[in-house]
């Protein structure tokens, strides 16, 4: 049985190293953190090692007692290494809720795949439907923006909604189902759609969503699917990266997913045209910190995509 425990500990070692690495990379200078995570993670790992030693030492007791208790103790050791101690789990939870998320709003990314040839009719309906939603639910619900994809997934409309927390989101969903005018317009919309998709997101604390503005030009939505467990490291690097880019352009928003497709991050940018986009992105490489941001974040990505979008007439960002 001791050999089984040792094999379990060895197999779980990679998970323990990954958890420790994430905690060490979390930015300790943020005021929300009450104490450095470095010490916490080291103490937690020491506690796991002490626990393992204590449990393994119990093998000197009677063989009957060992048969009864060793499997439970081995299971406890493996759970501690794979999932961390209760203290580490709580600090990780605090880091995600206090450091990553701004915590003020909940956002929804709604993607509609429109039947080819039906985009004009689609836009005519949503230009009536979505302002109705805003009027009905204001101030708890706002429309950040609505766009039509110009490069990328064509025949696609993208809408970003802002809710004053989950209660406002749930209330809006409930009232929309019971609103006769909303249902009338939505029934007109349905035959124009091939499919639709919804994702609930939180905005990064260091990158709040831009207020309504009319700047013209084009918008770019960049979407990244990250490897599981790397969101803290992504945030740590992009705190630096966004400041480098801010010298050349104004970030419009950044979010990470909470419901729907998980482990995803979205960045929204605005440019006067594609040539300016090219020049701005090239200029960023001259900024101290930007090359390091790219170098450190590329290994965290599983998949990425970019779409160039044109704002609809009723969009708050246009």
Question: Is residue 289 very low, low, confident or very high in pLDDT (cuts 50, 70, 90)?
Answer: confident
Q: Across the chain, what does the average pLDDT equal?
A: 79
Question: Is residue 64 very low, low, confident or very high in pLDDT (cuts 50, 70, 90)?
Answer: low
Confidence check: pLDDT of 15 > 70? no
The predicted model scores a pTM of 0.70
Confidence check: pLDDT of 59 > 70? no
* Share of residues in the chain with pLDDT > 90 (%): 58
Cβ proximity of 253 and 203 under 8 Å: yes
| Per-residue model confidence (pLDDT) at position 86 | 52
Confidence check: pLDDT of 35 > 60? no
- CA dist 216 and 276 (Å) reads 13
- CA dist 111 and 7 (Å) reads 47
pLDDT in tens, 114-161: 999 999 999 999 999 999 999 999 999 999 999 999 999 999 999 999
Residue range 282-288: mean pLDDT, rounded: 89
Higher pLDDT, residue 154 or 89: 154
CA triple 213-217-220, angle to 5 deg: 90
- CA dist 221 and 311 (Å) reads 12
12-18 contacts, C-beta under 8 A, 24 or more apart: 12/78, 12/81, 12/82, 13/81, 15/81, 15/82, 16/45, 16/48, 16/81, 16/82, 18/229
Burial of 200 by CB count in 10 Å (0-12 exposed, 13-18 middle, 19+ buried)?
middle
Sorted by sequence, the CB contacts under 8 Å of residue 90 that are 6+ apart come out as: none
| Per-residue model confidence (pLDDT) at position 206 | 83
pLDDT in tens, 103-117: 789 999 999 999 999
| Per-residue model confidence (pLDDT) at position 274 | 96
| Per-residue model confidence (pLDDT) at position 93 | 52
pLDDT in tens, 226-259: 999 999 999 999 988 888 888 788 789 999 999 9
Beta bridge partners of 304: 224
Residue range 277-294: mean pLDDT, rounded: 91
| Per-residue model confidence (pLDDT) at position 85 | 45
């Amino acid at each position: 049985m001791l050999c089984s425990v040792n094999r379990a500990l060895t197999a779980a070692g990679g998970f323990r190293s990954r958890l420790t690495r994430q905690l060490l990379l979390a930015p300790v200078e943020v005021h929300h953190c009450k104490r450095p995570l470095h010490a916490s993670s080291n103490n937690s790992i020491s506690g796991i090692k002490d626990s393992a030693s204590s449990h393994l030492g119990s093998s000197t007791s009677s063989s009957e007692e060992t048969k009864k208790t060793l499997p439970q103790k081995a299971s406890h050791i493996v759970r501690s290494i794979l999932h961390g101690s209760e203290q580490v789990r709580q600090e990780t939870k605090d880091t995600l809720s206090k450091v990553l998320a701004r915590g003020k709003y909940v956002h929804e990314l709604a993607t509609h795949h429109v039947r080819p040839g039906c985009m004009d009719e689609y836009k005519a309906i949503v230009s009536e439907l979505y302002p109705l939603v805003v009027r009905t639910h204001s101030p708890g619900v706002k429309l950040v923006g609505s766009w039509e994809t110009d490069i990328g997934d064509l025949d696609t409309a993208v809408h970003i909604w802002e809710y004053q927390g989950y209660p406002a989101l749930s209330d809006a969903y409930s009232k929309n189902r019971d609103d006769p005018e909303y249902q009338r317009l939505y029934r007109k919309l349905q035959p124009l759609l091939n499919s639709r998709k919804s994702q609930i997101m939180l905005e990064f604390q260091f990158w709040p969503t831009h207020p309504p503005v009319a700047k013209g030009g084009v918008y770019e939505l960049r979407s990244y699917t990250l490897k599981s467990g790397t969101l803290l490291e992504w945030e740590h690097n992009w705190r630096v990266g966004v400041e480098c880019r801010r010298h050349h352009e104004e970030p419009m928003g950044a979010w990470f997913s909470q419901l729907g497709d998980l482990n995803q991050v979205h960045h929204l940018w605005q440019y006067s045209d594609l040539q300016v986009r090219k020049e701005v992105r090239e200029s960023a490489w001259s900024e101290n910190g930007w090359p390091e941001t790219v170098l450190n974040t590329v290994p965290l990505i599983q998949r990425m995509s970019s779409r160039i979008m044109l704002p609809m007439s009723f969009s708050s960002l246009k």
